[in-house]
Structure 1
Amino acid sequence: MRKRFCRSVVGAFGLALMSALAACQSLGKEPTFGADLTGIDHLADYLSVSDFSVNGAWGAQAGKGGRTTCCAVIPEKWHPGLKAHVKWSVSDWKHGGGDFHEADVPVDQYSRLGHMWVHFLADDSVRIVVSDIGPYAPDYPGPHDSIPQKYPWKQYPPPTRKGPTFSEDELEKYNLR
């Protein structure tokens, strides 16, 4: 009986010690949240953000704010100096070609968790807004400039450039006409 008691005490002590060590390890790590991610393209009608990522989380093609992916990891609480690493490519449908961009972007202050909206603005800047309110709402905390409703791949003929070309079937299949 005494052996069982000792084993129980040692087991309880071991469990308490492991819990204390785990608590110490978690100090300094801030709690995070997985936010849905949507890009919004404010660029000229012949340009489009083809693909983007935020801290490695893929964001698909930015557009009118309707395509959402999961998830960009952000701190549960905003703090001064909070930035996210954004990579994006821009296709030029009028002139052909495009550019690749990369930047550390400040995250707008937020007090409540929500969706991560990544705005690719006409002045070549990027703005990240975390909000449970969408960009079409009047009280949205992000930019209120117009969000172009565009389809540059339909407006501009396929550019003449070296590289892959689409067959008529592919153009139809991917709704590029």
Structure 2
Amino acid sequence: MSNEKGKVGRQWAVGSLLLLLVGCSPGTPKFLAGDLSGVNHTSAAINHFSVNGYGGRNISPFGYGGGVCCVMLPSQWSPGLKFKVEWETDSDPYAKSPPLGTDEFRAFMVKHKAKYQQHTAIVELPPYEDELCALEVHFLPCHQVKVSTSCWRYPSPNSPIKEPLNMQEPAVCPK
């Protein structure tokens, strides 16, 4: 756990340094900073997620979350820009557990965590203009991901992502 905290701290420090450097450089900045948030359209919990190493927090099933500052993206969008989304899911987030602090609880958590799944997707960066409001990552059934750089956040009717929040996993996922 402390290793993960150290990683988050280093990412925050690097992101802050980049923000300072971008803010102090003459001319057009090479990167834009925006909030990173997520929308979970599935029944599994998202324990944590990241975009190119910039971390987002957990998201409950069929919920919103992960709002953190900041994700750094190139100031000039161009076709073919891609980034890596990584996330961990808990398919049974409401499992009944023994009382905290007991040996039974610790044994339960070992078995429960063994069922966590790690996922990775390479996603194309959608177009954006000179400003970047946020990068919103949508986790869909079948471990699919969609992203938006729109200033219109989900579930606004102006949001480019239109999938419903409460989506069910199909019996067979498309390849």
TM over 0.5: yes
The answer to whether structure 1 residue 118 and structure 2 residue 137 are counterparts is: yes
What's the Cα RMSD here?
2.4
Task: Tell me the TM-score normalized by structure 2.
Answer: 0.61
The equivalences for 1:9-158 within 5 A come to: 31-43=30-42, 45=43, 47-63=44-60, 64-93=63-92, 96=112, 97-111=115-129, 112-141=131-160, 143-148=161-166
Secondary structure at the aligned position of 1:103 is classed as strand
Q: Contact 1:49–1:90 (CA<8 Å) still a contact in 2?
A: yes
Secondary structure at the aligned position of 1:131 is classed as coil
Q: 1:108 to 1:56 in 2, by over 3 A?
A: same
By how many angstroms is 1:67 displaced? Answer: 4.0
Structure 1 portions without partners, runs of 5+: 1-25, 150-177
Q: What's the % identity of the aligned pairs?
A: 29
| Larger RCO (CA under 8 A, 6+ residues apart) | 2
Amino acid paired to 2:45: S
Aligned length: 119
Q: 1:35 to 1:49 in 2, by over 3 A?
A: same
By how many angstroms is 1:30 displaced? Answer: 6.9
Amino acid paired to 1:132: C
Q: Contact 1:108–1:127 (CA<8 Å) still a contact in 2?
A: no
State how far apart, in whole Å, the 2-side matches of 1:103 and 1:137 are. 25
State how far apart, in whole Å, the 2-side matches of 1:124 and 1:100 are. 10
Amino acid paired to 2:67: T
Segment drifting more, 97-106 vs 33-42: 97-106
State how far apart, in whole Å, the 2-side matches of 1:82 and 1:127 are. 14
Q: Contact 2:57–2:65 (CA<8 Å) still a contact in 1?
A: no
Task: Tell me the TM-score normalized by structure 1.
Answer: 0.60
Secondary structure at the aligned position of 2:143 is classed as coil
State how far apart, in whole Å, the 1-side matches of 2:54 and 2:66 are. 14
Amino acid paired to 1:102: T
After the TM superposition, which segments of 4 or more aligned residues of structure 1 sit over 4 Å from their partners? none
Amino acid paired to 2:57: A
Amino acid paired to 2:149: V
